[in-house]
Structure 1
């Protein structure tokens, strides 16, 4: 209880961020899944898309960009907090050039994970391919800025990762005959931690020095998981939340290990779990009314193409909801959690 009270104090204290100019971080570079995909999946053949209404209805111009949100996503708010720009563009978006990507870019793909088997479920971009895009980005950046300036930007840029939820919910638990036949849940957590460590080392080998390893949210509280938790009275699935906590502890330990192992690295663990859970448990403190279902359609299972603009059940004010669709937070929730992480973890890079 005392810990949750501390979370509340921090959240209220840091709800509004002041934009800082002349930041020490010249760019935000992002890897991950739908929590940080700004539209890369628009350019690949997959059903894991959100480039249609009502997605993006609260985004600038009411444009559905491919973000799984009614508006902006966490990395957009983080980039703005660093005084860079209000949105981070998707690397595969043809509307943007290397001059745009020089201050921030996301390689993330909705439906992806640490495990290659996870990305194959919805035929999305696997993490190894995100890394290949990053190498291509570095090449273009050197051509644009010159070798020395590009290398400086890469070493000073903040590299953010947000992965793992799909590995558990869309892979391990969704397909029992696949990874469950190979690993116990503890073994699978350790398998993913190994992949996460290798990925950070790969970024380090490419010149990245400032990095944030993102943790899991209370994934048992996602509307989709609550809807299927019939035996638990449609409350948060404690089984899934327990896995999230275990995995986050291992990510934190990995961060400590890699900081000791890799000279010059500044790796932090950004944990959204408790801040997210506090919003769900005490929504009225944030002007939020609905926590168990999402804004879109019935709010129980819809996401992606099931979340369509013609559904009359979709809420009119997403700011009153924790979740936008059955799997993703609203812009307001993303803003609160991003601001919290910014001030408690990422501020050291300012």
Structure 2
């Protein structure tokens, strides 16, 4: 708990005040390549047969042009900001969007799919893209990039690119705590280890195809998501601390995995991007960041709405999303995404500029 109190406030207040003055650096990173779930999906779910979509109002109402894009937010998601901070385009295009071609993917490409997880069962819950399929798309992308730029230039980009990976929350909230069969197969520690084994295999696989600069994200305090607070039977509207403790334990193991990967794979540089303490601070002391509400979301009643339920309740969504930590019952507002991105870039991801 002391980490929550001492790691961030002054720094975060400063970057909040600076806002759009946040520095952008050009020329060092040629591309960002994204794998993961709805925390980083920029629109791939628009193009698959799933009920988990956000390509309708009020999603995207604060995005450029006020248009829904398939991002689970009122605006941009963290990887968009990371791309901008590396001096690349402000938006990372989703790989499955047919309006983009290989020329658009030279400086960034996004394979993420909302609702997915490390475990294949997680992706099957809402019929979204499993992580292994994201990797298959990546391999296909490599061939297209090599054909477009030539092997030498394409391989140079693949090696120098920053790979941003954000995934894992759904494995617990959509899978372990929802499906009785998973709970019968694993204890929590066993399931954590199962997921980390998949994460390790995933890194080994993309390493074989050129990945050298990777960020593996930890879990947020998932017990403080508005939906989890709504259904917390032991203390309604309070954070589910059991879920938060599971996230903390998983993050500790993920950090150990990052250290292990850096020792085992020659030439690789893996960093651990941990959102936990900053999000926890936002939830517990929202006024430090200029928020007014952290216990519920902007969309609808803010208690349980997500995806199409936000569409149903759209006209009743809050007028100013910047006053809220969460946009829907599961996902942050653009402001939260920006503050998280600024923090993680200045503390961790800047290292890839060296």
Alignment TM class, shorter chain as reference = over 0.9
- Find the residue that maps to 1:138 and give its secondary structure: helix
The corresponding residue for 1:43 is: 47
| Structural RMSD (CA) | 1.1
- Find the residue that maps to 1:293 and give its secondary structure: coil
The corresponding residue for 2:248 is: 245
What are the Cα deviations for residues 275-310 of structure 1, in whole angstroms up to 9, with x where unaligned? 111111111111100001000001111000111165
1:20 aligns with 2:25: yes
Distance 1:8 1:298 in 2: 29
Q: Give me the TM-score of the superposition, normalised by structure 2.
A: 0.96
- Alignment equivalent of 2:199, drawn from 177, 181, 196: 196
Distance 2:254 2:15 in 1: 24
Distance 2:189 2:215 in 1: 23
1:139 aligns with 2:143: yes
**Structure 1 segments unaligned to the other structure (5+ residues):** none
Distance 2:73 2:243 in 1: 23
1:7 aligns with 2:11: no
- Find the residue that maps to 1:101 and give its secondary structure: coil
- Number of residue pairs matched by the alignment: 348
Q: Give me the TM-score of the superposition, normalised by structure 1.
A: 0.97
- Find the residue that maps to 1:99 and give its secondary structure: coil
- Alignment equivalent of 1:85, drawn from 86, 89, 110: 89
What are the Cα deviations for residues 36-71 of structure 1, in whole angstroms up to 9, with x where unaligned? 111101111100100000000000011100000000
**Structure 2 segments unaligned to the other structure (5+ residues):** none
What are the Cα deviations for residues 219-256 of structure 1, in whole angstroms up to 9, with x where unaligned? 00000000011321320000000000000000000000
Contact 2:34–2:164 (8 Å) recurs in 1: yes
Distance 2:30 2:128 in 1: 29
1:54 aligns with 2:54: no
- Find the residue that maps to 2:128 and give its secondary structure: coil
| Shift >6 Å, 4+ stretches | none
Distance 2:291 2:347 in 1: 23
- Alignment equivalent of 2:80, drawn from 76, 82, 95: 76
1:314 aligns with 2:317: yes
Contact 1:218–1:273 (8 Å) recurs in 2: yes
- Alignment equivalent of 1:99, drawn from 74, 96, 103: 103
- Alignment equivalent of 2:156, drawn from 131, 152, 157: 152
1:342 aligns with 2:345: yes
- Find the residue that maps to 2:8 and give its secondary structure: helix
1:279 aligns with 2:282: yes
What are the Cα deviations for residues 106-144 of structure 1, in whole angstroms up to 9, with x where unaligned? 100000000000000000000000000000000000011
Contact 1:54–1:309 (8 Å) recurs in 2: no
- Find the residue that maps to 2:215 and give its secondary structure: strand
